[in-house]
Structure 1
Amino acid sequence: MTQENFEVKLPLFEGPFDLLLFFIERDELDIYDIPISKITNDFLDYIKHLETLNIEVASEFILVASTLMRIKSKMLLPRPQIDEAGNEIDPREELVKHLLEYKKYKSVVDTFHHMEDTELMKEKRGNLTKELKSLAESTNVEAELQDVTIFKLMTVFEKVLKRFEAEKNKPVHQVIQYPYTIEGQKKYVVDEVKRKQKLSFTELLEAFPSRIGLIFNFLAVLEMLAQQILSIQIGEGFNNFWITKGENLPESTDTVL
């Protein structure tokens, strides 16, 4: 048997008995009447082939190889071994026994693998393997999608929902452009004082009933009091006061600004 034949026909086997069964099935040999010389030579050739490929040979292969050589040597003896009943002992008997047991267990394992593959192909609730694989092939993200599980999908969905609720319920700060400015209210108050000579503070408040209008008017009056553009005249009972002209009140309203 050549090295090229090994490369074509002999893959790496699970164990030495797996290799022996391969030889038996390949050559259609009778497992109860194994040509020990041929199968030993094939087995040793396979080990040599592994060594030429720098593949480490497992110890169980070495053990079976030595067993085969021992059986081969016993069968070459001119005087066969006899048991207590006077029957000839076949040196291959123990090997055949192990091969039959291995073949039986291997058959059971193959059956289990087939059953497992059949079960995996069944459609179950929540089984998205085929759908995810199909989606991955169409979007070129197979590696990522193959790791996706229902739990991961639900986790992501829950996070998206929480983020959506947070965006929906977060406070909205609406910027309102009020029709008031300090400069505008200063001009208004000065015009009213010039027109009326004095202006009741209560009357000024009533002219702008909104809270924002009151604040702008009050700030405008305070600023002009500090600039002495306006002055204060206390009313009776201290419940009211009057806004009058100050020393620095300009002739033109534009100068106030």
Structure 2
Amino acid sequence: MSFEIKLPLFEGPFDLMLFFIERDELDIYDIPIAKITNDFLEYIHTLEKMEIEVASEFILFAATLMKIKSKMLLPRPEFNEEGEEIDPREELIRHLLEYKKYKSVIGQLAEMEEIRMSKWNRGNVVDELKKMSRVDDVDAEMQDLDLFKLLKIYQKVMFKFASRSDDTTHTVIQYPYTIEQQKTLVLDQLNNQPIIPFTDFIAMKPDKIFVIYTFLAILELLQLSLVTIKIGDGFNNFWVEKLESIPVETL
């Protein structure tokens, strides 16, 4: 026994919206946002249950529908420059009408393409005569050969040979730091001074790898709730503060 599940495929969120409008015979100028939003979300949930990846544009469109729905529920209408109340659905309707117009044109172009593909192309007489007069043999190729072409070919061959002969080497360097070591270092410094600017750690050893490992160690201590950070003056420094005195051996 086997079963088959078929889901309609849509090229985009606007295509899905037009399907709902045509299916339920809705007025495109007076879209019931609540119903359309529920249908849209139900379709997305169906795809998720079938473990089908939902495109980001569908998720963004669903969020836009919910935003429009929330605006319509709020009793705070917006007005344009002429003092007329702005319908939150206005922009959505405009995009839908535009998409519908281009979709109808694309359908007509697809029909024209299908008709055109079913016809035979008339031959290009000049092109056919050139192909017939072309002689594909060694003698014809040697007639167009000159010293410049020979040098270019020689240069390409030598370049390929040189690139093949150069062996690629990789050097693996083991850094003399670990996250655990830097965590111990940070806590030792905080035992002597409860709050330390990060620039002091940089000044201890102005080495790029040392600074990176120290910064990662501070992040781990922050996650373990052993330290906290405070933003200092400007955006290029922060202060590291110890929350409580815990022996280093517990790490």
Q: What TM-score results when the alignment is normalised by the length of structure 2? A: 0.45
